[in-house]
Structure 1
Amino acid sequence: MFAAHSVILIILVYVLLLFGLALWVERRTRYRSSSVMPGWVYALSLAVFFTSWTFYGSVGFAVHSGMLFLGIYIGALLSVIFWWVTLRRMVAVKEVFRITSIADFISTRYRRSQRIAALVTLLALSGIAPYISLQLTAVVSSFSIITGSHESEAWDMTGMLVMLMMLVFTIMFGIRRLDPTERHSGMIAVLVAECLVKLVALVVVGIFILRAVFGDMSSLMETLSHEEMLYLTEFRQPSHSGLMWTTLIVLGFAAVQFLPRQFHVSVVESSDQRHIKTAMWMFPLYLVVINLFVIPIAAAGLKLGLPLASADFFVLKVPQYLGHDMMTLLAFIGGFAAATGMIIISTMTLATMTSNHLVLPVCEKVGFLEPLQGYLLQVRWVIAALILTSSYVLAMVLSNSYILAAMGLISFVAILQLAPPVLIGMFWRHGNSMGAMTGLLAGYLLWGWTLIIPSMIAEGWLPESIMVTGPFGIAWLRPEAFLGIDFLPPLVHSVFWSMLFNVLFYLLGSWFYHPQKHERALTREFMAAMLSRGKIAGKARPTGLDAYIALEPKLVEANDLLVRYLGADKAEEAVLRITDDLQVSGKPYLTIIELMEFHRMLEHVLAGSIGSASAHTAMEERITYTEREAADLKALYSHIVNELQGQVRADQAEEGTLGGYQFLDQMQSQLDEMEATISEQKTRISELESRLEARYEEIFKHRMEAQKLRVENESLRRRLVDETD
């Protein structure tokens, strides 16, 4: 046992080391010409996927269900196989639209809908905030184990301390600046360090337990062959194991891509698409190594007779039982690293999503809240504090409850609801905002009804009659027997119904709802961005035509827009940076192309701070065009289409009745799509030329072989003639 104050001191020293590392990396990055992180750093940062639920919970899962604990990780491995297609497309879209979160990504695909972004944010908050509580509980429980203190005392001593340290860390290195698309080099460095700490800790403790309890591998295998231990290595021991395996694999497949923290480190923080290839072998390797000693530790705990109720903490309890304090402390530090890494990045992403997609739209609608738009950064700090505080309170209230223990898988089912609008939306251009909205809403409601409501009933917060007879006596609405299906395990039951209705409503909504032209144009733009591999969002493009548009009013208009969200100093700095990139500083007038580029870059800057959906809405509401400017935009569009396609498409320009910024956005999206189409055609031509060249080589080889055969035949014929003579 350790004294409580000693462990608290160790925690403080550890966190101070993390602070020092983050500060050193940020200062070092600030003076370097490039902020691109190495590929191995990017790959290791993705290991934030492995939380205390992995570090502690995998052993507990194995003790109760054998090899079934691998289901989540097999799903994650299967997901990695497709990263070069799915993840690379997400990164390409991020580079074009300056995506800030998974909610921003989904809303950008579907008409930049604020409602969809808000729904995704609510879903993430519902699923992830309690998961943060689970991490806090793991820290407090492990502290209680190694100090021997009562859990209520542990909450008083460490719970609040950890929460405050994580809040300070999140603000300093995660949301210190308004633009969440900037590289958070210090935070990523800390994530990588913690990923290494938890991996090394688990491997070292695992080797120690293997040698101390079993001696060698042969003894371990002999122990596992005993009848009471056989189930640890079996793949089919619980009822409905096939359904459970499938469900866990599906959950793991979705979680490793769509958890808000995973999306942030894999997409938002990505600095080079080539790093995905590095991650595609490093992440699976990490996954294998961190799970290598799960079964040996589980078997050791059972062999030593430790109570099954404490199986989740066998990683701590086995070395403690063996009297090895240093190994116990190392296990505690590893679990602490696994929990805090998740807390930091999840709090940051949830705060960004909440401020951009819940608070900001409300401020725009409610007049007396409008001044808050100028304090968006401070609003994020408050939201981060509220998220951590609510998670802390929830963890204390539910510290020994069923809900918190099951929260890991419940959260994964919540995040699974994001899979249809993301995956189908990336590959099926006919998916639209109505389908996404109805599908998400149906999945969200069924997730809550089939998983959250039964958990609340188990805690005694709701009457048990809902489970037995259904609400208001409607039996087919029973949460764990929805529509009369009562033979599935609760987790499988929830995944089946929520995903069935999610996908069904997505397809039906997309099939029956005909989107407006503006949404179709945005969909084409999104698809073109994925094919562009992120090259569309570069610096300013070539300019031309007559300069007649006064620059000063446009600068004032842009500055007024940015001041609402960024503050006066940053707004002025952003406008100056745009004019410098466009090379129009000091010019009295702009051309129509320069104006188009100016507004495109203005939205790009704004999207980095408030999200793509909010930025687009703000541009549509605040940016205006004169009649001549709008007419010139249409004429320019017709001209460029004619240049790109070799045929006049003026009818399309006349067809659109959109005005102002909406027309500019439509025009830009169609031009981007044409550029992508031309690029595809060039690639196809190159492939055909290569195939043709290969065919020519093949024909040439056949001719040479035929000629050789003719020579041999002629030689053989002559030889036969000579022999007959």
Structure 2
Amino acid sequence: MFSPLVVVSTILIYMACLFGIAQLVERRVATTGETFKSPWIYALSLAIYHTSWTFYGSVGFASTSGLLFLGIYVGALIGIALWWVILRKMVIAKEVFRITSVADFLSTRYRRSQKIAGLVTLIALTGLLPYIALQLKAFISSFEIITQQSSDQWSYSGLLVTLLMTLFTILFGAKRLDPTERHQGMVVVMVVESMVKIVAVFSVGLFVLYGLYDGIGDLNARIAEAELTHLTSASATEHSFSMWVTLIILSFSGIYLLPRQFHMSVVENTDQHHIKTAMWVFPLYMIAINLFVIPIAAAGLLGDFSNHQADYFALLLPQEAGQSALTMLVFIGGFSASTAMIIVTTVTLATMVSNHWVLPTIERFSKAQGLRPYLLQMRWALVALILASAYWFEHEFSDSYILVAIGLLSFVAVLQFAPAVFGGLFWPRGNSAGAFAGLLAGFGIWVYTLAIPTFIKNGWLDPNILLAGPWGIELLRPEALFGLDGFHPIAHSVIWSLSFNLIFYVVGSLIYQPHKDERTFTTEFMSVLTPVRKPAKARPTGLDSYIPLSAKLEESQHLLAQYLSDDKSRDAIFTICEDLQVAGKTHITIIELMEFHRMVEHILAGSIGAASAHRAMEQNIRYSTRESSDLKALYSHIVSELKGGPSSTAGSMLTTDTSALEQHGLIGELQSSIDKLELKNQEHLTRLARLEEKLEKRDHDIFKYRMEAQRKERDNKDLRLELEDMKQKLLAQREE
């Protein structure tokens, strides 16, 4: 038994060591400019997938359900096998569009929709807030076990760990506004914690096999003697088959879409080729951390422990045997599993909330726009608020049904991202209306089939709803919707939520006809997902240099300064000018301006999200009449080259240079503004704009028509001048 002071001191020393490691890494990166690009670091950082739910919960799961606990890892292994096809596309999209989170990914794919980003943030927050509470509960429970003091005796343990987690989360993951900047220190800390977890599991596993028993043979004999054969059975429960399928589906999507997993595997990726190493290193880690689950579960059941203590057999067994050092090592391993999940998940949720809830609200109200320079501080406040809410949830419902199954409830919530994400990667027809409808339908079914029954079992709602359905309609029973009975509640919810989600996504995408801007951007998005060589930074060439550079620099720096510090804004503008090789110029071309604005939006997207950055550009960047006309003409020319040239096939479009596609996409985004400006032009330009809308597929002909129209305009002008001259001559003759 340890005193609370010793345990707290050990935690503080351990976290101080981790913080010291993070600081050394960050200092080295800042001093040398070299980043940690080891594929091993990337692969081991992905072990954040294994939280306290794995470290402690797998043993508890196996104690009652046997080998069924492996379902949550089988699906993940299948997903990992497809990483080079799926995850690589996500990483490419992140690099091109500066994606910061799974909400930003879906928003970017579907017309940079703030509605979709906001809905995804709501789903993530609703599904994962209780999961964070589960990590806090695991720490508090393990703390009470090794100190042998109840929460009544040390009532402030939960509050203390919440405060510590808030501090560590800000220090490790929320020091910068731009979440796409590499958190090298945090990534290395995740690797260290992953190693601590695996060492702790192996230590207690070997202790059980060779300290408490005489090897695996002796333990197997004891299992058979005690009739605990369900531990090695794949069908130890009533709904085994449906639960196997359900767990495989949930873990397959979770390995891609859990916000913490998306952040580590996509946002923190520094090299696409690291995925190849991770595809074999991470599965080995996953197998290794589960090797001793059954032996530990068997040893606990063979001992004097009750079933409700099964989650903490790994901690109780060495403690019961008087192995103090091993007990502390296991406690630190479980603490590492909890803190890794809490830090990264809280950072990603705070980023999503600030980018897709707080910032759009600030932009909507002019009086609140003075808060824009304080986005980082607001993100810190959100970290504290999220963890405080999780602590309240744990404190209020620590002994209820809610925290018993919250891990799978969260996985089902995250599953609702799957149709829109995977459909967005591989189905060009998918659009914003279908994605929003699918997400909303799936989330609604999740609430009805899982959240409401949870509230009922906790005593919040009338239990008759669960037994007879609302208003006595049995077909609407939450756990037997439309008469589908005989399934585990989790499997039942997965069936209906995923079905509704898919149906609404597909049907909505087929029915809705997206605007031209969305179709243009979708073409670009799907095209850049094809792996191509990274474009070299070279000076674009194009039209005449007539645009004053100083005015554009001042305009863009003023925009960046609304969200970033003055120093960072100036540095960003300077870097862009250097990359475009326009530093020192007085005037630039329209193509250089287009690329300049694309890179400004790229910088801004890293801090406030792609959707908010796009809106900020639309509201603050202005174009002259000539610039708008040139952009319009350039757009027509590029489209005709991409679609109408002799070698313009679907395949050639997919292998087009990335920079050209990005230019094409930016012009498409400006199309709406240009159309509004053209309404003020002369009558023949208005007729031409209408003709362009009707003859969208014949861009090359339209371009030639426009050139002809301009020639006619000049001829008309010349003709008017000639008529005026003739008129003057006639008047002169009359006077004579």
TM-score normalised to structure 2 length: 0.87
Q: Does the 8 Å CA contact 1:541/1:597 hold for their aligned counterparts?
A: no
Q: Match of 1:612, as an amino acid?
A: A
Q: Match of 2:467, as an amino acid?
A: V
Counterparts of 1:556 and 1:531, CA distance in 2: 36
Counterparts of 1:17 and 1:216, CA distance in 2: 36
Partner of 2:252: 253
The 10-residue stretch of structure 1 (399-408 or 262-271) with the greater mean CA deviation from structure 2: 399-408
Counterparts of 1:482 and 1:370, CA distance in 2: 46
Q: Does the 8 Å CA contact 2:540/2:580 hold for their aligned counterparts?
A: no
1:658 partner SS? helix
Partner of 1:370: 369
Partner of 1:355: 354
Partner of 1:580: 578
1:152 partner SS? coil
Unmatched 5+ residue regions in structure 2?
649-664, 678-736
Counterparts of 1:603 and 1:656, CA distance in 2: 13
Q: Does the 8 Å CA contact 1:620/1:662 hold for their aligned counterparts?
A: no
Partner of 2:227: 228
Q: Does the 8 Å CA contact 1:545/1:593 hold for their aligned counterparts?
A: yes
- Taking the TM superposition and a 5 Å limit, the aligned residue runs for 1:710-725 are none
Distance 1:646 1:424, change over 3 A: closer
Q: Match of 1:213, as an amino acid?
A: L
Shift, 1:535, TM fit: 3.0
Partner of 2:178: 179
Partner of 2:203: 204
Partner of 2:515: 516
Q: Cα deviation per residue 1:583-615 (whole Å; 9 max; x = unaligned)?
A: 222322111111011111111111111111111
Shift, 1:540, TM fit: 5.5
- Taking the TM superposition and a 5 Å limit, the aligned residue runs for 1:47-62 are 47-62=47-62
Shift, 1:554, TM fit: 1.2
Distance 1:284 1:450, change over 3 A: same
Partner of 1:713: none
Counterparts of 1:172 and 1:498, CA distance in 2: 38
Q: Does the 8 Å CA contact 1:135/1:339 hold for their aligned counterparts?
A: yes
Partner of 2:307: 308
Q: Does the 8 Å CA contact 1:96/1:535 hold for their aligned counterparts?
A: no
Partner of 1:117: 117
Shift, 1:505, TM fit: 0.4
Q: Does the 8 Å CA contact 1:625/1:661 hold for their aligned counterparts?
A: no
Counterparts of 1:162 and 1:656, CA distance in 2: 49
Partner of 1:718: none
2:604 partner SS? helix
Distance 1:534 1:455, change over 3 A: farther
Partner of 2:459: 460
Counterparts of 1:350 and 1:131, CA distance in 2: 12
Counterparts of 1:23 and 1:111, CA distance in 2: 39
Q: Does the 8 Å CA contact 1:111/1:433 hold for their aligned counterparts?
A: yes
Q: Does the 8 Å CA contact 2:28/2:34 hold for their aligned counterparts?
A: no
Partner of 1:658: 672
Counterparts of 1:422 and 1:326, CA distance in 2: 46
2:672 partner SS? coil
Shift, 1:354, TM fit: 0.6
Shift, 1:89, TM fit: 0.3
Counterparts of 1:468 and 1:570, CA distance in 2: 60
Counterparts of 1:626 and 1:335, CA distance in 2: 61
Q: Does the 8 Å CA contact 1:107/1:114 hold for their aligned counterparts?
A: yes
Counterparts of 1:107 and 1:568, CA distance in 2: 28
- Taking the TM superposition and a 5 Å limit, the aligned residue runs for 1:553-568 are 553-568=551-566
Q: Match of 2:597, as an amino acid?
A: H
Shift, 1:557, TM fit: 1.6
Q: CA RMSD in A?
A: 2.1
Distance 1:657 1:312, change over 3 A: closer
1:371 partner SS? helix
Distance 1:243 1:237, change over 3 A: same
Partner of 1:608: 606
Q: Match of 2:148, as an amino acid?
A: G
Distance 1:441 1:640, change over 3 A: closer
Partner of 1:571: 569
The 10-residue stretch of structure 1 (380-389 or 475-484) with the greater mean CA deviation from structure 2: 475-484
Counterparts of 1:654 and 1:269, CA distance in 2: 30
Shift, 1:462, TM fit: 1.3
1:430 aligns with 2:417: no
Q: Does the 8 Å CA contact 1:109/1:523 hold for their aligned counterparts?
A: yes
The 10-residue stretch of structure 1 (305-314 or 464-473) with the greater mean CA deviation from structure 2: 464-473
Partner of 1:105: 105
Q: Match of 1:333, as an amino acid?
A: I
Counterparts of 2:49 and 2:642, CA distance in 1: 45
Distance 1:534 1:380, change over 3 A: farther
Counterparts of 2:86 and 2:119, CA distance in 1: 23
**Paired-residue identity, %:** 55
Q: Match of 2:215, as an amino acid?
A: D
Shift, 1:377, TM fit: 0.8
Partner of 2:681: none
Q: Match of 1:514, as an amino acid?
A: Q
Q: Match of 2:672, as an amino acid?
A: L
Counterparts of 2:676 and 2:206, CA distance in 1: 62
The 10-residue stretch of structure 1 (283-292 or 629-638) with the greater mean CA deviation from structure 2: 629-638
Partner of 1:686: none
Q: Cα deviation per residue 1:400-427 (whole Å; 9 max; x = unaligned)?
A: 1110121101000000111110111111
Q: Cα deviation per residue 1:223-268 (whole Å; 9 max; x = unaligned)?
A: 2333621100000121121101000011111111100000000000
Partner of 1:704: none
Q: Match of 1:502, as an amino acid?
A: N
Shift, 1:647, TM fit: 3.5
Counterparts of 1:291 and 1:115, CA distance in 2: 40
- Taking the TM superposition and a 5 Å limit, the aligned residue runs for 1:50-449 are 50-157=50-157, 159-226=158-225, 228-449=227-448
1:284 partner SS? helix
Q: Match of 2:566, as an amino acid?
A: A
Counterparts of 1:296 and 1:654, CA distance in 2: 60
Shift, 1:662, TM fit: 11
Q: Does the 8 Å CA contact 1:298/1:314 hold for their aligned counterparts?
A: yes
Counterparts of 1:7 and 1:387, CA distance in 2: 25
Distance 1:306 1:479, change over 3 A: same
Shift, 1:90, TM fit: 0.3
1:238 partner SS? coil
Counterparts of 1:539 and 1:349, CA distance in 2: 31
Distance 1:93 1:36, change over 3 A: farther
Counterparts of 1:161 and 1:264, CA distance in 2: 27
Which of 534, 543, 546 does residue 544 from structure 2 map onto? 546
Partner of 1:687: none
Q: Does the 8 Å CA contact 2:76/2:254 hold for their aligned counterparts?
A: yes
Shift, 1:366, TM fit: 2.3
Q: Cα deviation per residue 1:381-406 (whole Å; 9 max; x = unaligned)?
A: 11011011111111111111110121
Partner of 1:46: 46
Distance 1:445 1:412, change over 3 A: same
Partner of 2:625: 627
Q: Does the 8 Å CA contact 2:84/2:275 hold for their aligned counterparts?
A: yes
2:543 partner SS? coil
Counterparts of 1:181 and 1:141, CA distance in 2: 35
Partner of 2:654: none
Shift, 1:155, TM fit: 4.6
Distance 1:22 1:556, change over 3 A: same
- Taking the TM superposition and a 5 Å limit, the aligned residue runs for 1:17-28 are 17-28=17-28
Q: Does the 8 Å CA contact 2:226/2:302 hold for their aligned counterparts?
A: no
1:276 partner SS? helix
Counterparts of 2:431 and 2:543, CA distance in 1: 37
Q: Cα deviation per residue 1:679-717 (whole Å; 9 max; x = unaligned)?
A: xxxxxxxxxxxxxxxxxxxxxxxxxxxxxxxxxxxxxxx
1:31 partner SS? helix
Q: Match of 1:394, as an amino acid?
A: F
Shift, 1:204, TM fit: 0.7
Distance 1:69 1:154, change over 3 A: farther
1:201 partner SS? helix
Residue-pair matches, total: 659
Partner of 1:712: none
Partner of 1:598: 596
Q: Does the 8 Å CA contact 1:540/1:597 hold for their aligned counterparts?
A: no
TM-score normalised to structure 1 length: 0.88
Distance 1:626 1:400, change over 3 A: same
Counterparts of 1:662 and 1:84, CA distance in 2: 43
Q: Does the 8 Å CA contact 1:624/1:661 hold for their aligned counterparts?
A: no
